[in-house]
Amino acid sequence: MTAGNHEAYKTEIPWSRLPCTIHDAVIATRLLDLKYIWVDSLCIIQDGDDGKDKESQLGRMADVYTYADLTIMAKGAKAADEHFFGERSLPFGTSFLPFQLSNGPCARVTWTPDSALQDLQETDMTALDTQGWVLQEHVLSHRLIRFGT
């Protein structure tokens, strides 16, 4: 969100104006039967206002992560204009576990043993891992879903 589109975005954010990662995050939110999504780039004015909104909101990020039902991390996307859903190879030992959503449909979750994830974490660093706020997400989020690695 920018100072230029702030007022218009209070009533509607056109789907066509959202980057691919936000499309995927909205789809994931709907599939998980969650009602709300908080996106920093849409909830914090990124320019103008001499940085006052950004400064104010960044001071509240601990609350955002702490009280969120879950945090979505788009590790598979190198930039906002890339999707994080898609085909990928899975580590050895990965299983698919079925479960039923609260609204009735069946779905499945991918489960990977910690040992395989440890190997991935050591070799699969992405640009996202170099961002300071990623540590805050890991430490403060009660549930963290990582897509794309």
pLDDT tens track, the chain, 149 positions: 777 888 898 899 899 989 888 898 999 899 889 998 888 888 888 787 677 877 777 778 888 888 888 888 877 677 778 787 766 677 777 888 888 877 877 888 777 777 665 655 555 556 556 666 677 777 888 888 877 65
What's the pLDDT score for residue 101? 76
CB-based contacts of 6: which residues, under 8 Å, 6+ apart? 45
C-alpha distance across the termini of the chain, in Å: 28
CA pair distance 7, 18, nearest whole angstrom:
16
**CA nearest to 37, candidates 46, 45, 26, 27:** 26
- Angle among Cα 134, 140, 146 to the nearest 5 degrees reads 50
**Quick count: other Cβ atoms within 10 Å of Cβ 100?**
9
**CA nearest to 30, candidates 15, 48, 49:** 15
What's the pLDDT score for residue 133? 64
This prediction has a pTM of 0.65
CA pair distance 117, 94, nearest whole angstrom:
10
CA pair distance 1, 136, nearest whole angstrom:
22
What's the pLDDT score for residue 117? 57
CA pair distance 119, 67, nearest whole angstrom:
30
Give the position of tokens 């580590």.
91
